[in-house]
Amino acid sequence: MTPKLVIMSKAPEMGRVKTRLARDVGKSEALRFYRSQTRSLIRRLGHDPRWQTLIAVSPLAALYEEDFWPEEVPRVWQGEGDLGARMGLMMEGLPQGPIVIIGCDIPAIRPAHIAKAFKALGRHDAVFGPAEDGGYWLVGLKRFPNVRKIFSDVRWSTPHALEDTLANLKDARLAFLETLPDIDTGADLKRWRKEQRNI
């Protein structure tokens, strides 16, 4: 029943990652940001002994890429379908134990956030890390005694994503972490870089 952290990550290909950000800052800059943040995130979280980290990659060929993701962190294929279908596959297909899923575009995620999420799953059925845009940067399920199907009829990439997901959990015990900003637009990136300079 080892806790599992799943990092959803696309292969770093021009025009396939951070497409909304690319519209504001250009494809090259968006790709550079994605590569840098993904590597930094995996370095911070990927080797923590309190959980097993898996990188859920897309497309399928990314399972065999050797020059971007660290070899020592196991990779699995995300599968097909929209974001909800792919996260559902992770929740339903991996071995028993609590699972927390995150993406790669929240630079503020730290090991303490992940530890807090798994701790919350000791007393709750699901845990969320809300994002400022109405979505969420983290979702976790206890997955015992059964795996809840929570991602149907969710309007992804809209301000309703968290609200729609919660509608599938009406009878569940829920926990929430702090709200963190994601980096989806040029304005988001500019604000984040300004905050980094002031640290």
User: Closest Cα to residue 183, out of 14, 6, 5, 41?
Assistant: 41
**Residue 53 pLDDT class (50, 70, 90 cuts):** very high
C-alpha–C-alpha distance, residues 140 and 172, integer Å: 13
Burial class of residue 98 (count of CB atoms within 10 Å of its CB; 0-12, 13-18, 19+): buried
Domains in the chain with CATH codes = 4-198 (3.90.550.10)
Q: What is the pLDDT of residue 157?
A: 87
**Residue 186 pLDDT class (50, 70, 90 cuts):** very high
Residue 151 predicted with pLDDT over 90? yes
C-alpha–C-alpha distance, residues 110 and 123, integer Å: 22
Residue 66 predicted with pLDDT over 80? no
Using one digit for the tens of pLDDT, what is the confidence trace for 89-108?
999 999 989 999 999 989 99
User: Which carries the bigger pLDDT value, residue 118 or residue 145?
Assistant: 118
